[in-house]
C-alpha cells in the first residue's frame, strides 16, 4: 500500500510540473554583458559575455560578434533546456 501512495504523489508532482507555463524570461537564457572601459568611444564596442547557468564566457570586439556569440550559445543550449 505504501508503494501506491508514493507512486501517486510522484505522478501528481510530475503532472503539476507539466502544467506550469514556461517563463517568458527563462533563467537558462540569462547572460551578463560586460563592456571594456573604452567601449562607448567612437568605434569601440568590446567586452565579454557570460552565460549565467553554464559559466561559458567569450570576448567580443564588435556588436556583430556579440550577437553571433549570443546566437551560438542559445542554439547550443536551447536543445537541452527546452526538453
Give the pLDDT confidence score for residue 22 in this predicted structure: 83
Q: Has residue 61 been placed in a domain?
A: yes
Give the pLDDT confidence score for residue 28 in this predicted structure: 87
Asked if 66 and 33 count as a contact pair (C-beta separation under 8 A), the reply is yes
Model pTM?
Answer: 0.65
Q: What is the number of domains present in the chain?
A: 1
* Res. 14 pLDDT band, cuts 50 70 90: low
- Residue 58 CA to residue 69 CA, distance in Å, equals 7
What integer best gives the mean pLDDT of the chain?
81
Alpha helices (H) in 1-83, listed in sequence order? 2-19, 63-82
Q: Is the pLDDT of residue 29 over 60?
A: yes
Q: Has residue 12 been placed in a domain?
A: no
Write out the residue range of the structural domain in which residue 48 sits. Answer: 22-82
Summarised one tens digit per residue, pLDDT across range 45-76 is 999 999 999 999 999 999 999 999 999 999 98
Q: Has residue 3 been placed in a domain?
A: no
Higher-scoring residue by pLDDT: 70, 81? 70
- Residue 46 CA to residue 31 CA, distance in Å, equals 16
Amino acid at each position: 500500500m505504501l508503494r501506491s501512495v508514493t507512486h501517486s504523489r510522484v505522478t501528481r508532482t510530475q503532472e503539476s510540473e507539466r502544467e506550469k507555463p514556461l517563463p517568458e524570461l527563462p533563467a537558462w537564457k540569462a547572460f551578463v554583458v560586460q563592456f571594456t572601459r573604452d567601449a562607448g568611444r567612437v568605434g569601440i564596442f568590446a567586452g565579454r559575455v557570460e552565460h549565467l547557468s553554464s559559466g561559458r564566457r567569450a570576448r567580443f570586439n564588435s556588436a556583430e560578434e556579440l550577437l553571433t556569440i549570443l546566437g551560438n550559445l542559445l542554439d547550443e543550449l536551447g536543445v537541452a533546456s527546452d526538453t
